[in-house]
A and B are shown apart, each in its own frame.
Chain A
Amino acid sequence: MNRPDTLTATIRIAAAPAEVFPYLVEPHLLIQWIGAWADLNPEPGGVFALEVGDVPVRGAFVSVEPPNRVVFTWGIPGSDTLPAGSSTVEILLKADGDETVVELFHHDLPADQLPQHEAGWTSFLDKLRQAASS
């Protein structure tokens, strides 16, 4: 069956891309909208580390193009299903008048993989959902 391995999400923000961009790459601004703790080094190969709930998310920046685009890898250390750095998140900021259209793509998700010998993926999703709804 045809199963897209990319999730997409989009939103419109009443601010210019240059005003939104710091929220994607500066730890104290990033954790205002996702995660409780972050360590970010926004340059290609730089660390992307985030705690969402008590789930560690680990990856690296792939591309940092202020104020329009940032790409980083995303995964969970020790997970067979979604190892650290295994999937990729791409965020595009497009100016539209005075506003910004944010497009987020989460690529390379293990869509057709079953969790095998670990509950990591399941518990990650569970915790992520709790964190997201709190």
Chain B
Amino acid sequence: MSDVQATRPNGGDGGSGPDAVLRALADPQRRQMLQLVRNNELAAGQIATHFAITQQAVSQHLRVLERAGLLSERREGARRFYALRPESLEPVRTVLADLWPDALLRLKHVVEQGKNQKKEERMTR
């Protein structure tokens, strides 16, 4: 699966946080996997039965999701069980949560600059 290779969280771009979450969510199969384990945990093999890709490819997708912090992993002997960590979607909210403070900061600057310009115009009149 070349697209799994392309999104493998190796090197510096892995880890958690908004970027890793967004990258992990960018793949439709991974979003489908999150849906599957949303309400109950499933073994990797059970998850794989829902996809027409190799179990190895499924495992790689699950690893991407786990490293992004979207899934929790529990091992029981040789089996791995996965469940959604709903709190991990917080970083996605964080993007919007960052937008507004940044925007309000710009609002402050443009209003205060506009006001100073008017003041200067009055004084030079």
Contact of B22 with A122 in the complex, beta carbons under 8 Å = yes
Size bracket of the B interface: 20 to 34
Contact of A13 with B98 in the complex, beta carbons under 8 Å = no
Interface of chain A, main secondary structure = mixed
Asked if B110 is an interface residue, CB under 8 A from chain A, the answer is: yes
Query: Within 8 Å CB of B103, what residues of A?
Result: 9, 33-34, 132
Closest CB in chain A relative to B55 CB, distance in Å: 23
Contact of B96 with A7 in the complex, beta carbons under 8 Å = yes
Closest CB in chain A relative to B110 CB, distance in Å: 4
| A-B residue pair count with CB separations less than 8 angstroms | 100
Contact of B102 with A109 in the complex, beta carbons under 8 Å = no
Closest CB in chain A relative to B95 CB, distance in Å: 4
Contact of B87 with A15 in the complex, beta carbons under 8 Å = no
Query: Within 8 Å CB of A119, what residues of B?
Result: 25-26, 28
Asked if B31 is an interface residue, CB under 8 A from chain A, the answer is: yes
Contact of A114 with B89 in the complex, beta carbons under 8 Å = yes
Asked if B108 is an interface residue, CB under 8 A from chain A, the answer is: yes
Give the CA-CA distance A14 to B112 in the complex, in Å.
Answer: 6
A129-B18, A129-B95 given; A33·B112 CB < 8 A: no
Contact of B89 with A126 in the complex, beta carbons under 8 Å = no
Cβ proximity bits A47-73 to B, threshold 8 Å, 1 near / 0 not = 000001000000000000000000000
**Total number of A residues with any Cβ neighbor in B under 8 Å:** 38
Query: What 10 A-B pairs are tightest by C-beta distance, nearest first?
Result: A9-B100, A33-B106, A33-B107, A11-B104, A125-B95, A32-B110, A34-B103, A9-B101, A13-B108, A132-B99
Known pairs A13-B108, A114-B89, A117-B28; list 16 more (Cβ under 8 Å). A7-B93, A9-B100, A9-B103, A13-B107, A13-B112, A19-B111, A29-B110, A34-B106, A52-B99, A106-B96, A109-B93, A111-B93, A122-B26, A128-B95, A128-B99, A129-B99
B interface with A by C-beta (< 8 Å): 18, 22, 25-26, 28, 31, 34-35, 38, 86-87, 89, 92-93, 95-112, 114-115
